[in-house]
Structure 1
Amino acid sequence: MITVGNDLVRHQLQENRKWYLLLGTLLVIFGIVLMASLGMATLTVIYLFGALMMIGGILHIVAAFKIFEGGYRWMWAIFGVLYIVAGYYAYSSPIKTAIILTSLLAIALIIGGVIRIINAFMLKAYPGWGWTLFSGLLTLLTGILIITTPTSPFWVLGMFLAIDMLFQGINYLTLAAAIKRVPPSY
């Protein structure tokens, strides 16, 4: 039974290999294009954030009046309105939104870095604790660099998007290459 399942998965992967190649190639190209225009990439992130917030707001309002009853209904409706306002704010003030989101990202990285550093010292008795320390220091320094660089709101979010797309593309291309090495199923 396991062989039959593995053969089916192998067959499906080989059938879809060309799509993994295409998707990987497109994501790598988009990642490179975004990396070359970090300002536009950041603007894209802000507008995507705004659109998702407004969609979330609409869904909250619909849920408030279609799903929930009583006092909870108004809480969901208020959250929906707040989401819509936040989304609209992102569209109407993309620069301020970029500053706010980049600052929140930097603060999260600083806090995460400090926590990892503390964890590293708690794990000092175990092998590999130095990697946790290194990760914490790198995360802390990244957060400090972002928060102390005045121009960071204009490129950091775009860089994160570009790097994510680039690595996702490489991931799909690597998967397609690995599928090519798998012997066909019979």
Structure 2
Amino acid sequence: MKTEIIDEVRQNSGWFIALGIFMILLGIAAIVEPFIATIAVARVLSWVFLFAGIIRTIHAVQSRRQRGFWAKLLIGILYIITGILLLSNVLGATLSLTIAFGWVILAQGIFEVIAAFQARPEPNWGWMLFSGIIAIILGILILYQWPFNAVWLLGVFTGVSFLFSGAWMIAIPWAISHRLSRI
């Protein structure tokens, strides 16, 4: 690791660890109460769509003399409508976001497998292939179980993500302090 990064992590290790613990607690809560976490994720993403649409529409209006104005404006309006529709129907939002998530994971896996075979002579290309295969399997499982998994899937996946994020936020400062104590 670069010296600047090590110094920054060491100076802020308390904040890293506190945030890591908070993320782990949020992850556990999301896994224990996946329905509530799924609703929370759907709400947050719905608001993100709405605000992104507002920002995109404002940007389109400000750049109305440039090429692509109508496309930018229509995309912004589409985002706003999507945000409003998702906010007005939480169950519909969880269903829509879950199926979209399944298709995105499946597409990611397919592209990772293709990229792995393109990178084939490089070292460790097999890890990319493995990741792609796992993503394809997860995508198929998500789509196969839809709509029944919509009430828990986003919450559980978010919880697992928070757990791993919290773990590295604790592990990195610990590893740096452990390494520096041996010097």
Same-fold call, TM cutoff 0.5 = yes
Contact 1:17/1:179 (CA < 8 Å) preserved in 2? no
Residue 62 in 1 paired to residue 58 in 2? yes
Written as runs of structure 1 = structure 2, the 5 A alignment for 1:94-105 is: 94-105=90-101
Take 2:166 and 2:141, find their aligned partners in 1: how far apart are those partners? 27
Aligned to 1:53: 49
Which digits, 9 at most, give the CA deviation of each residue in 1:111-162, with x for residues without a partner?
Answer: 4444555666778888867655544443222222211214211111112211
| Secondary structure of the corresponding residue to residue 68 of structure 1 | coil
User: Aligned partners of 2:43 and 2:86: how far apart in 1?
Assistant: 7
- Structure-2 change in CA distance of 1:129 and 1:78 (3 Å): closer
Stretches of structure 2 that go unaligned for 5 or more consecutive residues are none
Distance 1:142 1:71, change over 3 A: closer
Quote the residue 1:176 is aligned against.
173
In the TM superposition, what is the alpha-carbon distance from 1:9 to its structure 2 partner?
Answer: 4.7
Mapped to 2, the partners of 1:169 and 1:30 lie a distance apart of: 9
Structure 2 distance, partners of 1:47, 1:110, is: 24
Give the gaps of 5 or more residues in structure 1: none
Percent sequence identity is 26
Alignment CA distance shift 1:64-1:111 (3 Å)? closer
Indicate the residue corresponding to 2:87 in structure 1: 91
* Aligned-residue RMSD, C-alpha: 2.9
Q: Compare 27-36 and 117-126 and name the one that shifted more.
A: 117-126
Matches within 5 A, 1:20-35: 20-35=16-31
Partner of 1:163: 160
125-134 or 80-89, larger mean C-alpha shift: 125-134
Return the alpha-carbon distance in structure 2 between the equivalents of residues 122 and 9 of structure 1.
33
Give 1:110 shift: 3.0
